[in-house]
Structure 1
Amino acid sequence: MTINLDANVSLQSILIKIGFLPNGDGLQFDFGNCKLKAIQGINQYFQDGFNFVGYYITGRSAGELDFFLPLQVESYEQGLSVIAYYLRNADFKNKPDWLNEGLALREHLPWLKETKAYNENPNAIIEHEWFRVLVNKLKLIISTSTNEDVTTFSFDGIVLTVVCNNEIFVVSGLGKNWQSIAKVKTKSLEFLPKRIPDRDIPVYIWKDNLHIGNRVFKLELENKKALPIVKP
């Protein structure tokens, strides 16, 4: 999962706020039976952030902690929830209040937020017969298109409007209206399916891509880079 580089809350400030103290080349928190170290550096993907390392030992169990987080997060709540997530199974002698607080902020975990956003993302459901007609008409135009030609898709909750090289096509659909217009290279639509499945087709925008059924088309937009927070 990802956190956009637009995120503007310093993870270091969160660590200091919850009680991590300077120690050698990083910050450290003492759980009584575990000294968790956070050291700024790069991960295996050459991304800058904090590497967390530590070991805990009790009379019943022992374990190793090893995870990476980016320098910036979207909010204090997100940063705390992710730190707590990676520590959720550790058997600490002294369990600080911030750890319980972070575990209670589970809805701020970036992968759960992304899943929720995806499920709530508006889409258009197009009846397969209408979709077949639309694709056949588009293919006639695509075959003579240049690399500069573009096609736009928009949906108002009732009608999917496709403007392909200045020719307009409309088909009815079901779903919630889109908040933006999808713009793709017309030539890229050569990837539209040759055989239309006998089922309704979802069309939607997600993460700078236009999704048409099981096909994905890159939007003509500048993409934002992101750093991963990988769910273990």
Structure 2
Amino acid sequence: MEIDASDAGPRVTIRQTERDRVDFILRGVDLLLANSLRRTMLAEVPTLAIDLVEIDANTSVLADELLLHRLGLELRLTCIAKKGIAKEHAKWSPCSAIGFEYDPWNKLKHTDFWHEVDAEAEWPKLANCEWEEAPDPDAPFDYSAVPGNFYMDVETVGNLPPDEVVVRGIETLQLKLAGIAVELNKDSVEANSTAAGGFTTYGGAGADSPANGYAYGEGFGNSGW
């Protein structure tokens, strides 16, 4: 399934979906943005997880800290769930793994210095090669080439569906970028105020006011995602 098939802006091709997994191709972005999305989905999508456990009764021979890991036993306890992100602790991670690949044909020559004997044998071609044209072995190397297709396989642990993890990852990344824009705008306003001897020409609007060019949370909502 193709999402946003226009030539401009990011494009997504969904190749396979399951209950806790989605496999898709991301196009129209650079490597930095694609990898930032992967890291955001892994570590900065908020979820609920058991944070505190109060054991009401434990008559076993096991210590409390050992008993907490014996999930198959019958216990009587109180669990407190808190919202958090995996950047703070891995228990809040919504994903068990995220596969990430680009340039399956090695057109960018990544393996020139990353093999011991035979690059072809040590770096086998994967199924993603079927989604791109094979390179011409006699063609000269393009030093300005950049990857254009990013193959992502998102597998969740079950607390959130995979499509929601992807959407929340994009939203979190948008908020972080908007926050950077706000801070940059504040620095620009302060610099202009200093240059003007303490007076500004912004009509008294705050640094993060739309009148000063940017408002928090705005400007990235229609960025093509």
Q: TM-score range by the shorter chain?
A: under 0.3
Question: Which has the bigger relative contact order, CA under 8 A and spacing at least 6?
Answer: 2
Greater strand content: 1
Greater helix content: 2
Q: Could you tell me the TM-score, scaled by structure 1's length?
A: 0.21
